[in-house]
Amino acid sequence: MTYLEKLLAAVRGSQSVLCAGLDPVPELLPPEIRSQGLPESEMAVTFCRRLIEQTKTGVAAYKINIAYFEALGVDAFYVLNDVLDAIPSGKILIADAKRGDVPHTNARYKTAYFDRLGFDAITLSPFMGMDTLLPFLQDSDRAVYALTLTSNPGAADLMTRPFGDFSTLSEYLATLMRNTSHQHPGTLGMVIGATQSTVYGPVMQAYPEAPLLVPGVGAQGGSVPELARHLQRHEGIPLINVSRGLAAFDKNSPNTWEVQVAGNTDSYNKILQEISDHCLHTAGKPGTRNKKS
């Protein structure tokens, strides 16, 4: 099964394009976990496992932010393995690692995240050139989501500036990635921040069949209606990531944190319903380019 086939199956299985971000930040964990007096590594596992349990029927993918696991020190990969074991089959597993090094170094990252840990996809930085992405693009069942137009304010330093004949550097990157994607069996997608609605239109148009990983909805305030409007014209399957919004804890609620997570998941699925319905209606149909030729 190719990555795009797995992605479509995951979206159909959950009836949603929602991706749950797993960010076990110790100081932001709910009180009912922090109050147990557990070591950080055990708190991280407990938090992730409980969040997975409450979101597993309502999300298509999980994006695991590697930084929060590496910060645990020597326990990092034991914890990461425990979390990966808790994720049901049929979900897309994304390593949010943002690696970006020379090809022979990235080849070892590929071995770590794809061959050893079994992730389906990884986030990478393309700013050292397209050749750095190639080690990750040799397998048809794996994908790269390259940082193309990120949601942070610092994107204005580089990504949204004009570049040559292109309206932004991000639009140029999208063009490069589209050309690269046609030459390799792996899937090359883009990270597009939902907060960048004033500039992401031309970027999506430059690579219309790209699968998208979209952060910035939820705590960062990206506009869902604006995103839905642009995605009506985009052929690639999007995954809309929400991290803090799903894990949020309201101390004034009478419900436990886990019940709140389930409610948050339902709420975001309703917010994203138009995008999910459009994707399910159009993805994989004749005339679209979601399948790699």
Whose CA is closest to 83, among 55, 124, 111, 102? 55
What are the φ/ψ torsions at residue 181 (nearest 5 degrees)? Answer: -60, -30
Sequence-distant (≥ 6) Cβ neighbours of residue 185 within 8 angstroms? 137, 138, 139, 140, 292
What are the structure tokens assigned to 159, written together? 């990504």
The helix/strand/coil state of 235 is coil
Q: Choosing from 91, 98, 251, 291, which is the catalytic residue?
A: 98
- Collect all residues with Cβ–Cβ distance below 8 Å to 75 and sequence separation of at least 6: 41
Is residue 6 part of the annotated active site? The answer reads no
CB 19 within 8 A of CB 59: yes
Task: Give the residue numbers marked as catalytic.
Answer: 98
